[in-house]
């Protein structure tokens, strides 16, 4: 046999093995689930994975479920939830992700999961959902890597850190805050936010006059403000957890810095108002729902939520409500509960408006239409500024 012929033996055998072997393997879990769901006529099962007691996310989702079922359900079938607590436990974020996602995936008729508060949990959990063929809507995880794996079942219903920071830079530009100082804790998620903000700010011809990072256990920021006092600037962009943010704002005000402080992520201003009272004036944070909006959908949601749960809805409630309603819209539009079919509808043809804004998705599953509003503390009151104002 010639050497040329020998060269083809290896690839040939591999091809043969693939052709003959495929039909003897069991169908992958995603296909098995799709087949089960195609034959299913019972209630439509959706998993909710959330940090219990964190906010009103579960109440928002529950309100949506009640409304859907009162209107006759989805495709004539009721919607039911499987709820799991994904508060960080043993094994850290990855261990929690594995525990919660496996627990949910063990429900054979589960078609979708909505939730996972933290990106560090949502990202590993998305691998399970991809393997198991479960539609996954992430309403809170904003780190960009969630949608960078080309997964077919993963969607994010909150602006990712690039899009969020871009909107903050545009907001700063619109408010004529042209010279910005960036303060950030040394964590990967805050660094991602700060980097994205800096890039967007520079694209908009804003000036970053100062950037300083510090460890999360840092307690005294007065030296930073002393350094900053030599500079002329209009605002601070702050990427940190809530405790550090409270400390920084308090110390900045103590040292006479009254300039606006833009909080880098979705942090409710109530804690600032509660802890710092007047010192929290001019602190701004992005929000997904503007309770002062004149949109009748928003006002209806606020009223119905308040009636059902006797408290006003927060961002978590609005995200939970919209994620369930969005999924319902995509199921109706697809006339199917097969996750891949619903995912295809979401990816290529959804233009749906909820109480948190417009929903359309990039091919990678990232939402690109949700424009945030900004909450600002002024004389102890929270005011809201929307991009359309």
Partner 1 sequence: MVKSTISAPVIEFRRNRWWWGIGLCLLLGIVPVGLAQQSRSFVNIVGAQAAYRFLSQVVERFGETTIYKYPLIEATGDEAGITMFCLELAVETPDILMLDRRMRLEEYARCARNGVGELIEMFIGFEAVVIVSGTEMPPLDLDLGELFLALAATVPNPSNPQEIVENPHRRWQAIHSRLPDAPISILGPPTGSALERLLAQRGLALGCQRLEAIQALAETNPVEYRQVCHRLREDTEIYEPVSLHNDTLLERLMENPSQLALTTYGFLQDYRDDLRHVLVDSIPPSVTVMQEHRYPLARPLYVYLKVGHLQLIPGLREFAEELVSEETVGRRGYLRDLGLVTLPPPDLEALIRTVELMSPMEPPTPTTAEIMAEAGTDEEVPPEDPVLTLDLAAWEAVKNSENILMFQLYLEKFPEGQFLEMANRRLEELQTAAAEAAAVAEDIEALEDDSGAGDDG
Q: Which residues bind partner 1 (CB under 8 A)?
A: 166-167, 170, 173-174, 203-205, 348-351, 353, 358-363, 368-369, 371, 385, 387-389
- Nearest distance in Å: CB 12, partner 1: 17
* Best CA proximity match to 211, nearest among 384, 128, 202, 325: 202
Please, which residues bridge with residue 83 across strands?
A: 48
Give, in order, the Cα–Cα distances in Å from 253 to each of 179, 200, 249.
19, 27, 6
Q: How is residue 100 written in tokens?
A: 């919660």
Q: Find the shortest distance in angstroms from Cβ 352 to partner 1.
A: 8
Comparing CB distances to partner 1, the nearer of 188 and 203 is 203
Q: Give start and end residues of each alpha helix (H) in the chain.
A: 3-7, 9-21, 29-39, 57-70, 92-105, 119-132, 161-174, 188-203, 222-228, 242-254, 270-276, 296-309, 315-334, 339-349
Judged by CB, which is closer to partner 1: 130, or 295? 295
Nearer to partner 1 by Cβ, of 302 and 376: the residue is 376
Which run of H or E residues covers position 6?
helix 3-7
Q: 2: left (phi > 0), else alpha (psi -120 to 50), else beta?
A: beta
Give 124 or 387: the residue with its C-beta nearer to partner 1. Answer: 387
- Pick 50 or 237: Cβ nearer partner 1: 237
Say how many C-beta atoms besides its own lie within 10 A of residue 38's C-beta: 11
Min CB(109)–partner 1 separation in Å: 30
Tokens of 135: 């539609």
- Residue whose structure tokens are 């209806």: 300
Q: Which is nearer to partner 1, 309 or 384 (CB)?
A: 384
At closest approach, how far in Å is the CB of 55 from partner 1? 27
- Cβ 279 to partner 1, closest distance in Å? 24
In whole angstroms, what is the distance from residue 250 CA to residue 257 CA?
10
Shortest CB 19 distance to partner 1, Å:
22
């Amino acid at each position: 046999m010639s050497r040329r012929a020998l060269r083809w033996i290896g690839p040939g055998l591999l091809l043969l093995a693939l052709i003959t072997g495929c039909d003897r393997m069991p169908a992958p879990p995603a296909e098995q689930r799709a087949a089960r769901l195609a034959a299913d006529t019972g209630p439509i099962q959706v998993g909710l994975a959330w940090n219990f007691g964190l906010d009103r996310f579960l109440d928002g989702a529950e309100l949506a479920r009640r409304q859907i079922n009162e209107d006759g359900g989805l495709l004539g079938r009721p919607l039911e939830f499987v709820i799991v607590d994904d508060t960080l436990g043993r094994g850290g974020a990855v261990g929690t992700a594995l525990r919660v996602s496996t627990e949910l995936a063990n429900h054979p008729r589960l078609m979708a999961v909505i939730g996972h508060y933290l990106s560090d949990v949502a990202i590993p959990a998305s691998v399970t959902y991809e393997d198991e063929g479960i539609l996954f809507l992430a309403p809170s995880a904003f780190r960009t890597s969630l949608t960078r794996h080309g997964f077919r079942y993963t969607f994010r219903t909150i602006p990712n850190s690039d899009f969020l920071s871009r909107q903050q830079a545009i907001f700063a530009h619109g408010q004529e805050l042209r010279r910005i100082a960036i303060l950030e804790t040394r964590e990967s998620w805050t660094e991602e936010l700060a980097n994205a903000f800096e890039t967007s700010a520079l694209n908009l011809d804003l000036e970053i006059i100062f950037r300083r990072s510090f460890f999360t256990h840092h307690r005294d920021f007065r030296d930073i403000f002393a350094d900053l006092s030599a500079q002329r600037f209009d605002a601070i962009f702050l990427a940190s957890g809530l405790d550090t943010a409270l400390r920084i704002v308090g110390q900045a005000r103590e040292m006479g810095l009254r300039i606006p402080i833009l909080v880098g992520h979705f942090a409710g201003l109530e804690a600032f108002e509660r802890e710092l009272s007047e010192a929290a004036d001019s602190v701004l944070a992005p929000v997904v729902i503007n309770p002062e909006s004149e949109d009748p959908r928003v006002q209806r949601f606020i009223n119905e939520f308040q009636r059902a749960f006797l408290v006003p809805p927060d961002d978590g409630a609005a995200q939970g409500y919209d994620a369930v309603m969005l999924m319902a819209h995509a199921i109706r539009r697809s006339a199917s509960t097969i996750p891949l079919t619903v995912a295809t509808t979401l990816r290529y043809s959804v233009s749906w408006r909820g109480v948190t804004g417009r929903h359309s998705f990039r091919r990678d599953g990232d939402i690109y239409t949700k424009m945030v509003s900004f909450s600002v503390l002024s004389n102890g009151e929270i005011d809201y500024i929307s991009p359309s104002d």
